[in-house]
Structure 1
Amino acid sequence: MNEPVPLTKRQQNLALVTLIVAVVLEIVDLTIVNTALPAITSGLNASAEAIQWTIAGYALSFALLLMAGGRLGDSLGYRRVFLWGVAGFTLASVACGLAQTPEQLVLSRLAQGACGAIMSPQALALMQVLFTPLERVSKLALFGLVGGLAAIAGPILGGLLIQLDLFGLGWRLIFLINLPIGLFALASGWFFLPDRKSSHPAGFDLLGVLVFGMAVFCLLWPLTRAENGWGVAEIGALLLVAPLLFVVWRHVSARVRARQPALFDPSLLSILPFRLGLGISVAFAAANAGFLLIFAFALQSERGESPLTTGLLHMPYGLGAMIGIAVLGRNFLPRYGKWVLVLGGLTLMVAGAGVLLGIGWLGLSKAALAPLLIVSGLGMGSLSGSIAPVSVAQVDRDHAGAASGMMKTAQQVGGALGIALAGSVYFVWGQGAGVPPSTAAIAVIASLLAITVVFAARLPGNLFAAKPASAAH
């Protein structure tokens, strides 16, 4: 798979457009839902638990199947598995748009996340098939730019579609719009993507995925049940988390010793920056996902803003994030190392709290919220763009693929955890706190960012000077 498939420039560009469309489809669908949550709540008479699972379920199923999706492509062919993923994602999107109950919507979102996990890894694998290493630099930069713009466009598009209310479909259109886009990606992928698979497929660890999934579910489910109070089942689920994680550790350690495919490589956790990087990824992703959930919901439910206005108010945050990633992280990380992450976390903590206070308690105008959102985005971008290079700075290149898979899984699990934690505080405890729910939610988001800052401060000072460590088996 090291040599690119011999295609004309036109064929390569058409294949690249196909992959970009799929990436946009996945990223937009992750962010477009936030602005539609109040409309979904009223349209389906959904509970707080169902609303949290509408977002967290997507991230959770995506996280659990991401590494398995990559292995499927290695074994069965990247083009074939990519088309399966796109087809499944499109059908799941239609099911979301046609859902008549909250339960149907949550199940359809779980299916969307699972199909996204099957589709997403094939895009990067096909990039290796299509282009030489030098060509990939500019193409992957384009992927990053398009991905960032798609994340910003998602809430705006969601607000616009709800505002237009075409054919009386309301919030359903944010999912149904994926049908023509998905059909285009399927047709384009069928004609333009090369049929290729790995010459050394590694297989995957199904039992490890299932047990790890049970552990994460036992953690998230009680948090989303706070609205109804905790009983024996919820407490029992929480008590099962640690034993299940211990079983996962023993299981993957045994499979690695036996040289069998494993969910992750435990030896990577012996590398301090990588171990701390995973912790930073989980805590930061949880804080960011929680902040964006509360931000979008509070603007509409506490301030009465329209979905379109809510979507447009995501733009200053996105602008700050892009500057943080492209300028601050890139220029200052090599020089200042871990302190870029520390400062980014503190900035997001303070400015993010100011945004949520401004929405609820202080009642700031939209013009006053905009600069706070830009500063919040700067902190977010400084962190987001720095976590990956810092985490893998001392990881040997032979383990780059495994480390990347673990990082992406940690980010998605963190996002699901943040939705459950922040959502529970907002929808349940915040209602009786004597302050606006958005103000009550600040505590959990600030706590997650404080954990991020503590982990970042513990990183070594000579991250990029030290020789990469080879994970010991």
Structure 2
Amino acid sequence: MASPFPAQVMDLTERQKSLAYLTLMVALVLEIVDVTIVNTALPVIEQDFGAAAAQAQWVAAGYSLAFALLLMLGGRLGDAFGYNRLFIGGVAGFTFASMLCGLSRSPEQLIAARVLQGGAGAMMAPQVMALIQVLFQPLERVAKLAWVGVIGGLSAICGPIIGGVLIHANPFGLGWRSVFLINVPVGVLAVIVAWKLLPSARSSLTRGIDGGGTMLFAASMAAMLYPLVRGHDLGWQPWHLALLFAAPIMLALVWRRTERRAKVGAATLYAPELFHQRQFALGLAIALAFGAATGGFLFVFAFGAQKLLGFSPLETGLLHIPFSAGVMLGIAFLGRKLVTSHGKWVLVGGITLMALFAGGTLAWIETDVSLWWALPCLALAGTGMGMTSGPLTPVVLARVDRSHAGTASGLIKTVQELGMALGIAIVGTAFFAGAPTGEVGAVLPAIAAIEGLMLICLVLALGLPAPLFPEHDA
């Protein structure tokens, strides 16, 4: 960055900087909430449109996939063209896509709008951290970034609750459309404030963009996800299997291309030397598998509670409260505080808790036993999620050189979002495909898929080095 504090920042009053920061937080909430808010609305959307199960999956997965694939590109475009410009353009695009979601007249239109929404979110999200660095002095950033973590965590776990409340309240008779259209006035206000207050700044380093690598990576993910979601509905045609076979080959080509371009100093999709650090590579694999397991669990839980047990969207949203409380307990009081003293065993414990009680929660849907069985299961599953997700990012970044901190953080976020999309595809497919003819879904195959992903997480976590942090090496 040419100057860490441009003249435009020095001219801002404390009140104006606070308003600019609040605008960034509003955008952060919009982006994160829209990942999970749709889970509560999906059964209503499916009923309204008469959509197929695979289309319901794509409404959820399309957003996460587009966001993940374009996130690194969004960060690099911000470096090149200015963080404020990309932020304003991203919020405007996100707002427009939200309007298209709310006005959709078919499942296909809604899926396309969700993909556009995810792409716009990927342009907007990376600029939040960059603009906080521009707006505030180093010591000021500590509290601001702490609030980013708290607000981001609350947004993710409150999404289903907000969705249930909105559908129940049914403002202006909009039904499920309100979960998207509520973004429009908020987004318009955010664009106006951002236009007036956000400083103009960009990176002084010319890193370039690997457009070919980005497209090849996107194609490999599409080749993997499309057959997983649509294969069952379309009868598993030979070309579905061909796409699944081609996906890892294309990923290998992405790897080779990136290694080759890095050696000659060309722009790359990511920094390949990061993967030479064992703890980073293992942590990223945990983030992918854990994101898939939790994304699949939240999808099946919200869908199954309504379709199999007959809960309303509001009741389903309220059911997420003990889970949300457990997540906050795991993040704030257990995970981050214990990881420095107990290392990888905090992750092992969190993964084990999540595996046991996420399965227990879905077993409640299958057996329809007393609600008093589900509530403690939800709270303990949430605690396990918080104990794992809270310390996971610091663990992944612990031995990463500071010169790669930005790229490494972007990779973690990208992998987590890809995990969400993969989880909805894999676990959702097990849920729908395992159902007998005429049934909505089958919980036991979904539990098996989730537990398989959790087992992978557990094995990877056990493989982490005993001292996770360099300060403990002695």
State the TM-score, normalizing by the size of structure 2: 0.96
- 2:170 aligns to what? 165
- 1:37 aligns to what? 42
* Whole-Å separation in 1 of the counterparts to 2:164 and 2:439: 30
Identify the match of residue 408 of structure 1 among 413, 417, 428: 413
- 2:182 aligns to what? 177
Query: Is 2:192 aligned against 1:191?
Result: no
- 2:136 aligns to what? 131
Identify the match of residue 23 of structure 1 among 24, 28, 42: 28
- 1:71 aligns to what? 76
Deviations 1:384-420 (A, max 9, x none): 0121111111111111111111111111111110000
- 2:124 aligns to what? 119
State the Cα distance separating 1:436 from its structure 2 match.
Answer: 6.7
Aligned residues: 467
Query: Is 2:430 aligned against 1:425?
Result: yes
- 1:246 aligns to what? 252
- 2:350 aligns to what? 344
1:394, 1:464 within 8 Å by CA — same for their partners in 2?
A: yes
2:432, 2:440 within 8 Å by CA — same for their partners in 1?
A: no
- 2:319 aligns to what? 313
Aligned to 1:227, the other structure's residue is in SS state coil
* Whole-Å separation in 1 of the counterparts to 2:13 and 2:110: 43
1:420-459 counterparts in 2 under 5 A?
420-431=425-436, 437-459=442-464
2:290, 2:454 within 8 Å by CA — same for their partners in 1?
A: yes
Instruction: Please tell me the residue identity of whatever aligns with 2:144.
Output: K
* Whole-Å separation in 1 of the counterparts to 2:224 and 2:399: 31
- 2:55 aligns to what? 50
State the Cα distance separating 1:53 from its structure 2 match.
Answer: 0.9
Query: Is 2:467 aligned against 1:462?
Result: yes
- 1:256 aligns to what? 262
Deviations 1:293-349 (A, max 9, x none): 001001100110010010011111111011111111121100111111111111100
Query: Is 2:372 aligned against 1:371?
Result: no
- 2:239 aligns to what? 233
State the Cα distance separating 1:186 from its structure 2 match.
Answer: 0.6
* Whole-Å separation in 2 of the counterparts to 1:74 and 1:116: 16
State the Cα distance separating 1:430 from its structure 2 match.
Answer: 3.2
Aligned to 1:200, the other structure's residue is in SS state coil
- 1:471 aligns to what? none
Deviations 1:126-159 (A, max 9, x none): 0000011111110011111222222232111211
State the Cα distance separating 1:466 from its structure 2 match.
Answer: 6.4
2:271, 2:407 within 8 Å by CA — same for their partners in 1?
A: yes
Instruction: Please tell me the residue identity of whatever aligns with 2:68.
Output: A
1:227, 1:424 within 8 Å by CA — same for their partners in 2?
A: no
State the Cα distance separating 1:81 from its structure 2 match.
Answer: 0.9
* Whole-Å separation in 2 of the counterparts to 1:158 and 1:183: 21
State the Cα distance separating 1:372 from its structure 2 match.
Answer: 0.9
Q: Which moved more, 1:88-97 or 1:253-262?
A: 253-262
State the TM-score, normalizing by the size of structure 1: 0.96
* Whole-Å separation in 1 of the counterparts to 2:112 and 2:271: 31
2:366, 2:444 within 8 Å by CA — same for their partners in 1?
A: yes
Structure 2 portions without partners, runs of 5+: none
State the Cα distance separating 1:27 from its structure 2 match.
Answer: 1.2
Aligned to 1:235, the other structure's residue is in SS state helix
Q: Which moved more, 1:363-372 or 1:13-22?
A: 363-372
Q: Which moved more, 1:39-48 or 1:147-156?
A: 147-156
Structure 1 portions without partners, runs of 5+: 469-473
* Whole-Å separation in 1 of the counterparts to 2:426 and 2:287: 16
Deviations 1:61-94 (A, max 9, x none): 1011101101111111111111100010001001
Identify the match of residue 330 of structure 1 among 325, 336, 342: 336
2:227, 2:243 within 8 Å by CA — same for their partners in 1?
A: yes
Instruction: Please tell me the residue identity of whatever aligns with 1:220.
Output: L
State the Cα distance separating 1:429 from its structure 2 match.
Answer: 1.3
* Whole-Å separation in 2 of the counterparts to 1:16 and 1:317: 29
Root mean square deviation of aligned Cα:
1.6
- 2:388 aligns to what? 383
Q: Which moved more, 1:299-308 or 1:244-253?
A: 244-253
* Whole-Å separation in 2 of the counterparts to 1:186 and 1:420: 34
1:430, 1:441 within 8 Å by CA — same for their partners in 2?
A: no
Query: Is 2:218 aligned against 1:217?
Result: no
Instruction: Please tell me the residue identity of whatever aligns with 2:4.
Output: E
Query: Is 2:84 aligned against 1:83?
Result: no
Aligned to 1:309, the other structure's residue is in SS state helix
- 2:4 aligns to what? 3
Distance 1:436 1:11, change over 3 A: closer
State the Cα distance separating 1:467 from its structure 2 match.
Answer: 8.9
The percent identity for this pair of structures is 49
* Whole-Å separation in 2 of the counterparts to 1:10 and 1:431: 60
State the Cα distance separating 1:366 from its structure 2 match.
Answer: 2.9
2:323, 2:381 within 8 Å by CA — same for their partners in 1?
A: yes
* Whole-Å separation in 2 of the counterparts to 1:456 and 1:467: 18
Aligned to 1:228, the other structure's residue is in SS state coil
* Whole-Å separation in 2 of the counterparts to 1:436 and 1:290: 14
Aligned to 2:309, the other structure's residue is in SS state coil
